[in-house]
């Protein structure tokens, strides 16, 4: 059975401004499908703490699911830190950019330029 961890990010989660319902929900879904979380961890939006926790989890577990930090704002660091932890460049994923543009187009909106950041992924990301 794979060792699975969930890493939740964000000051709002770390300091209790919001309840991490995503982690509880995902743990329950995994359990219902025969998997169990080995560990759940939460860090704020600090690059150093996020990098340290991601590296530690990836060295000790089989699967690390990151929840948070994937938005278009400057404090969303998950993709950048994942690339750094894997020693890979962050590159534009055209397929994901197309998905984002389609998401906005279906709603009759033009995607803001700031959202391009969400299509920047570690080079070997799948």
β-strand pairing of 120-122 with 90-92:
antiparallel
* CA 123 – CA 6 distance, rounded (Å): 22
Choose among 92, 99, 36, 95: nearest CA to 63: 36
Per-residue pLDDT of the chain (126 residues; tens, 9 = 90+): 899 999 999 999 999 999 999 899 999 999 999 998 999 999 999 999 999 999 999 999 999 999 987 778 778 899 999 999 999 999 999 999 999 999 999 999 999 999 999 999 999 987
Q: At what angle do helices 78-85 and 47-60 cross, to 10 degrees?
A: 50
* CA 126 – CA 122 distance, rounded (Å): 9
CATH class in words for 4-122 = alpha beta
- At 73, list the tokens: 């704002």
């Amino acid at each position: 059975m794979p060792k699975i961890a969930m890493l939740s990010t964000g000051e709002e989660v770390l300091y209790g401004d919001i309840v991490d319902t995503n982690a509880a929900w995902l743990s329950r879904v995994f359990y219902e499908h025969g998997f169990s979380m080995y560990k759940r961890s939460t860090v704020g939006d600090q690059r150093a703490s996020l990098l340290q926790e991601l590296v530690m989890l990836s060295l000790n577990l089989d699967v690390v699911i990151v929840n948070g930090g994937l938005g278009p704002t400057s404090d969303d660091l998950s993709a950048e830190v994942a690339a750094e932890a894997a020693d890979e460049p962050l590159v534009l994923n055209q397929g994901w950019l197309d998905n984002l543009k389609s998401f906005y187009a279906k709603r009759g909106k033009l995607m803001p330029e700031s959202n391009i950041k969400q299509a920047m992924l570690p080079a070997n990301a799948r």
